[in-house]
Amino acid sequence: MIDRFDVLIVGTGHGGAQTALALRQNGFEGTIAMLGRDKEPPYERPPLSKEYLAREKEFERILIRPVSFWKDKQVRLMLGSEVVAVDADARTVALQDGRTFGYGELVWAAGGSPRKLTCEGADLQGIHSVRDKGDVDAITGQLGNGARRVVVIGGGYIGLEAAAVLRKLGCTVVLLEAMERVLARVACEAISRFFEAQHRVHGVQVRLNTVVDCIQGDGTKATGVKLDNGEVIHCDMVIVGIGIVPVVEQLSAAGADTPNGVAVDEYCRTSLPHVHAIGDVALQANSFADGKMIRIESVQNAGGMANTVAKNLCGSQVPYLATPWFWSNQYDLRLQTAGLSAGHDKTVLRGDPFKRSFSVIYLKRGKVIALDCVNAMKDYVQGLKLVEARAEVAVEALVDSETPLKNLISVLRGEKK
């Protein structure tokens, strides 16, 4: 006999934890288990590159729930457990340690593994990702042993957030980005150049259009990063933030459709019966991307999909239709994003970047499709409604930062201001 659970959740991040929470909140009385590669109970991931790395929050403060909570809710945690195979016909999963568990419904919330460097020297010590607690503990351990010269490879959210914290901790930081600007995949040039300038002001050496040739070392640990032009940047530590690889090989081997992640329908169901996928791994048609199949890597998406799966398993057929949103904290700046800006044909600057509080509104064929708000909470909260409605608003009205965006929403509805 093997242990069997009514719902087996693979992954103990935000998506996995929220699935278990939402099941109980929706009255699910069956057995639930969470399997996770991480050895720690479910915890928040965004603080890893922010407050936890900065040593401003202890680990206990970023736990999603106290450890006792899961026992009280009769959710079995099986930590340090890696699934190596899924048998969709038998409804079982096999673990690396040889154990096998059965399930009634499987929720795949395994997230992604940090994309690794493939160049020579990539396996040296002192090269870190920022994906889990162990990664950050290794970084802070090396800092505690005197490391002060850091090369950050990758100018996305993770790389920029890590660079900001490391400067705050007194490190010399060189940030390398292969593209012509930071945040190139997620933001317009105005946002990219603003954050690039802020990092330069804070002492980060930002190097754009820069390609890494190899990592140099002393035979054990990394001591420098060699560029393709022959230049060597000497360092004590390397942090790599070049994206993730979705963990779906087990579902792929079981026969699931896995073109880039695992394809799911509007209810987060995979092509395998009784198997659902959520969060970073889930490839889904998205109305905010003109119906294209995309993956969204965010806490909001993981939590929203988890709620959808839980409601469906409890008998409510509810499709997942949430508006994407994201955030990033760097220095004293808070960037909040609503919608998806890919494919925009016009941007509108609202406010003054020199005052360190402004927004960029993205339009496509005259409709508001996304916003990037820097230290502009009101714009973000009110502008979210414009994004959800794909509102058509005159550019002149959007530019006027003295007019609250909520007034534009009222006008669209024909209401009085």
pLDDT digits (tens, 9 = 90+) for 376-412: 999 999 999 999 999 999 899 999 988 899 888 766 6
Q: What pLDDT does 45 receive?
A: 95
- Answer yes or no: do 122 and 107 share one domain: no
| pLDDT (tens digit per residue) in 276-290 | 999 999 999 999 999
Residue 413 pLDDT grade (very low, low, confident, very high; cuts 50, 70, 90): low
- Given 267, 285, 312, the domain boundary residue is 312
Q: State the residue range of the domain holding 136.
A: 115-238
What burial class does residue 291 get, using C-beta atoms within 10 Å of its C-beta: 0-12 exposed, 13-18 middle, 19+ buried? Answer: exposed
- Answer yes or no: do 36 and 126 share one domain: no
- Within 10 angstroms of residue 220's Cβ, the number of other Cβ atoms is 9
| pLDDT (tens digit per residue) in 361-373 | 999 999 999 999 9
Phi, psi of 218 (to 5 degrees): -100, 20
Q: Is the dihedral of CA 290, 294, 297, 302 positive or negative?
A: positive
- Answer yes or no: do 226 and 261 share one domain: no
Phi, psi of 26 (to 5 degrees): -95, 10
- Answer yes or no: do 120 and 234 share one domain: yes
Q: What pLDDT does 408 receive?
A: 87
- H/E stretch holding 339 reads strand 333-339
β strands within 11-144, DSSP E: 32-36, 75-79, 83-87, 92-95, 100-108, 112-114, 127-128
Can you tell me whether residue 263 is helix, strand or coil? strand
- Answer yes or no: do 98 and 195 share one domain: no
Rounded to whole angstroms, the Cα distance separating 269 from 273 reads 8
We report the CATH number of the domain holding residue 340 as 3.30.390.30
- Answer yes or no: do 366 and 388 share one domain: yes
- Answer yes or no: do 247 and 107 share one domain: yes
- H/E stretch holding 367 reads strand 367-374
Tokens of 227: 């560029």
We report the CATH number of the domain holding residue 69 as 3.50.50.60
User: The pTM is what?
Assistant: 0.94
Q: What pLDDT does 14 receive?
A: 97
If one counts the domains in the chain, the total is: 3
